[in-house]
Amino acid sequence: MTDLSKIRNFSIVAHIDHGKSTLADRLIQETGTVKERDMQAQLLDTMDIERERGITIKANTVRIDYTADDGETYVLNLIDTPGHVDFAYEVSRSMRAVEGSLLVVDSSQGVEAQTLANVYHAIEADHEIVPVLNKIDLPASEPDRVAEQIEDVIGIDATGAILVSAKTGEGIHETLEAIVNELPAPKGERDAPLKAMLVDSWYDAYLGVIVLVRIIDGVLKKGDRIRMMHTNAVYPVDRIGVFRPQMEPIDELGPGEIGFLTASIKQVRDTRVGDTITHEKKGCAEALDGFKPAQPVVFCGLFPVDNAEFEDLREAISKLSLNDASFSSEMETSAALGFGFRCGFLGLLHLEVIRDRLEREYNIDLITTAPSVIYHVYLRDGSMMELHNPADMPDMSLVDHLEEPRIKATILVPDEYLGDVLKLCQDRRGIQIDLTYAGSRAMVVYDLPLNEVVFDFYDRLKSVTKGYASFDYTIEDYREDRLVKMSILVNEEPVDALSTMVHQDRAEARGRAMVEKLKDLIPRHMFKIPIQAAIGGRVIARETLSAMRKDVTAKCYGGDATRKKKLLEKQKKGKKKMRQFGKVEIPQSAFISALKMDD
């Protein structure tokens, strides 16, 4: 049993690449939690894809014992959180389980957009925040300027900010002392009925579902029967333990502690994140405030390149959704691509990560259709339907109006690129809300339509600012606009996988770009192929793919011209007939390239 006043629960928040995971490594190393020979970089990032991309995707936790300068031994529970906007859901969850945060800011780059977003999560959760300026070993480091920027932009006192180099280990001892002295101890009553918060859960092939819990009141022991207050399900606890990155079983968890339990739960779906766990008998009276479940924002179709792999894909998707509550999927069929799944994601990085994991961990080659968002379609009879896939759009004569989701985007950008960023946002139908300065950097706030952002906004933003801009968004509301469905016809047959929703003013340019691209991608056939972009019954762009010809007059040497004519006429008739019955084969590679739309 650990004394409450000797426990500190904290998380590390920062923008991508400002060094949270490296700082976590140093804290673990400094306290000797992991033997030197087991130490590796980014110790808490366990997935291959996290290591390869150098980003944190799942929040991870570790328990550290630290003997402070005052001679007392403290238990520190650290939760390492992701920095990317798509995983903000993971961040807000982790914040509720701890009392304080280390705010890590790169002392050469300063405050970025996601630094702000993640700090606001911490402030909402009433955290005590300790600013840490990392990377002071870099020649470009300017700790004084960055400390000033933290005060200006976030409004936190940064005079006592700790100067750290997580790479060399400088300032790590001071960081540990600050955690002990400046962050509050958790509150909780040992004798009260058990009240524990379910922070996260994931599936393990040997142990079933592992549940990460933070005990608020009461004590959880091995063998207890627990009840989930949201689902009312009852389970016997098989084992209890803590992470010192590896699992270590213990007998009981008391108030203020963070640990895991297994209770022969079969499916992650049965463990709602944010749920309250209590004892079956003598439980606590009321549940804790849950989290709001994550809403998928971007939808796209995932199809196997080889249709025989459909069953493997179904199994892989069901396994992935076991561990990722924010990823949703349903079956769909497409005339061009066969059977597949319509999947919902929190953003484009989330989509890429899931796609990479499916291809890498389950060896399936995938085709991804163009990402789209949810539109609200209001019909003339007064009803409203949600449109996930442009191919399901009802007949326009039945539709009264369409609404699309709008976002509030915050972009931080160095002054010299500001013009390009404003132009990019204007081109994407943005409405400027605010423009302020934080030091030498401009902070622009824009109201943008989400469907313009999911396409390739992030890539364009990075390229016009040479990678210096940082971008963060929140979804605001739905608003009416003049949106239409654009279909692509190949040889007068609509190709459902290529239909997209576009704004009326943009439709012609987008349609022309698409047909020009397809003209280069579809191989030539023995007959002419028209490629058209159409809205309703009106064709807005067309390209014609010319036919391949066989030289039928090659065997005529000299002689009468009518012989050649006769052969050519015969060929012409054959081509006409072929065009009526000929099928156009669109290769898979053409789909993949056509859906990667560039400006």
Question: 203: which residues sit within 8 A by CB, 6+ positions away?
Answer: 209, 210, 267, 268, 319, 322, 323
Per the rule left: phi > 0, alpha: psi between -120 and 50, beta: everything else, 311 is alpha
Q: Which amino acid appears at position 23 of this protein?
A: L
Residue 21 is labelled as binding a ligand: yes
The secondary structure of 81-135, three-state, reads CCCCHHHHHHHHHHHHCCCEEEEEEECCCCCCHHHHHHHHHHHHCCCEEEEEEEC
* Dihedral of the alpha carbons of 405, 410, 413, 418, in degrees to the nearest 10: 60
Residue 127: C-alpha distances to residues 10, 95, 100, 118 (Å) = 9, 8, 5, 12
Q: Which amino acid appears at position 113 of this protein?
A: A
Q: Do 129 and 92 meet the contact criterion of CB atoms below 8 Å apart?
A: no
Residue 136 is labelled as binding a ligand: yes
Residue 436 is labelled as binding a ligand: no
What ranges in 125-218 are assigned the alpha helix state H?
A: 143-153, 172-182
Question: If 0-12 CB within 10 Å is exposed, 13-18 middle and 19+ buried, where does residue 123 land?
Answer: middle
Residue 19 is labelled as binding a ligand: yes
Q: Do 298 and 347 meet the contact criterion of CB atoms below 8 Å apart?
A: yes
Residue 121 is labelled as binding a ligand: no
Element spanning 594, H or E: helix 588-595
Altogether, the residues listed in the chain come to a count of 599
Residue 135 is labelled as binding a ligand: yes
Angle made by CA atoms 176, 147, 59, in degrees to the nearest 5 = 50
Residue 127 is labelled as binding a ligand: no
| Pairing between β-strand 298-304 and β-strand 538-545 as defined by DSSP bridges | unpaired
Residue 20 is labelled as binding a ligand: yes
Write out the DSSP string of 505-530: HHHHHHHHHHHHHHHHHSPP-SS-EE
Residue 525 is labelled as binding a ligand: no
Within 10 angstroms of residue 428's Cβ, the number of other Cβ atoms is: 20
The residues with which 201 forms a beta bridge, in sequence order, are: 211
**Binding-site residue positions:** 17-22, 134-137
**Binding-site residue positions for GTP:** 17-22, 134-137
